[in-house]
């Protein structure tokens, strides 16, 4: 399987790249900064310099040629303002979907966030509120397309060691989940085409990942 990952230098992306490479798949990471290429190669991935905020659909579609799936794991990141939450977390995800359709790549996994389907509480930081709005707008755009989309909404992310046991369903109680387990769930979703069309929330739990994905697909 050839998988192109937007936000290829992100923490979840690099963990997913290692997982893909470990089972003999090809991971391609789209990155803005050429200096990040060495880190992707160390993770077993092929780096491709492509700034999704400053490119066009034909260029991105060219990078997707021959791919079996795309994963949007990009984000504006800490320290960015509300404007970049829109240009990255929404617009770049939409651009990747446009390019996937042009390149004939149907499978699309979107890393979103728990809480996007609820109005921000009074007093919520405006940048965080903008992030939630951008993620929800991306979800709404993608799920309305003729693509095989799975939306994954992780809970609070941690850098702890993977546990391998999760709670995965359309709605779960808020909680933490390790980035390593998120990457492993993405790997399992790539191998589960019957999860297309689902929006799934993810936190740590008691169910092994493979079993949790199978259960989620059956509901």
Map tokens 């700034």 to a residue: 51
Asked whether 10 and 74 are in contact (CB, 8 A), the reply is yes
103 burial level (CB within 10 Å; 0-12, 13-18, 19+): buried
pLDDT for residue 78: 74
Asked whether 155 and 130 are in contact (CB, 8 A), the reply is no
Comparing 162 with 76, the larger pLDDT belongs to: 162
Find, among 90, 77, 80, 65, the residue nearest to 13 by Cα: 77
pLDDT for residue 123: 67
Model confidence, pTM: 0.95
Strand duo 148-154 + 2-6: pairing? unpaired
Per-residue burial over 13-24, b = 16 or more CB atoms within 10 Å of its CB, e = otherwise: bbbbbbbbeeee
- Using the predicted structure, report yes or no on whether residue 136 has a pLDDT greater than 80: yes
Mean pLDDT for the stretch of residues 131-142: 94
CA triple 128-51-61, angle to 5 deg? 115
Strand duo 176-178 + 69-72: pairing? unpaired
- Using the predicted structure, report yes or no on whether residue 11 has a pLDDT greater than 90: yes
DSSP state of 88: I
pLDDT tens by residue, 103-115: 999 999 999 999 9
Q: Specify the 3-state DSSP secondary structure of 165.
A: strand
Q: Find all residues with CB under 8 Å of 218, minimum gap 6, and list them.
A: none
pLDDT tens by residue, 45-97: 999 999 999 999 999 999 999 999 999 999 977 778 889 989 999 999 999 99
């Amino acid at each position: 399987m050839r998988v192109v990952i937007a936000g290829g230098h992100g923490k979840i992306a690099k963990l997913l790249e290692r997982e893909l490479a470990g089972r003999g798949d090809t991971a391609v990471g789209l990155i803005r900064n050429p200096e990040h290429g060495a880190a992707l190669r160390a993770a077993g991935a092929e780096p491709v310099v492509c700034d999704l905020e400053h490119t066009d659909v034909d260029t991105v579609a060219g990078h997707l040629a021959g791919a079996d799936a795309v994963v949007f794991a990009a984000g504006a990141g800490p320290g960015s303002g509300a404007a970049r939450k829109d240009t990255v977390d929404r617009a770049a995800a939409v651009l990747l979907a446009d390019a996937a359709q042009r390149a004939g790549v149907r499978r699309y996994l979107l890393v979103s966030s728990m809480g996007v389907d609820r109005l921000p509480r009074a007093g919520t930081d405006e940048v965080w509120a903008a992030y939630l709005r951008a993620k929800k707008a991306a979800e709404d755009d993608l799920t309305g397309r003729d693509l095989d989309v799975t939306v994954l909404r992780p809970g609070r992310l941690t850098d702890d060691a993977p546990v391998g046991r999760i709670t995965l369903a359309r709605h779960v109680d808020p909680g933490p989940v390790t980035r390593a387990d998120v990457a492993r769930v993405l790997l399992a979703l790539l191998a589960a085409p019957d999860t297309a069309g689902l929006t799934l929330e993810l936190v740590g739990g008691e169910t092994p990942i493979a079993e949790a994905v199978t259960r989620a697909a059956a509901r």
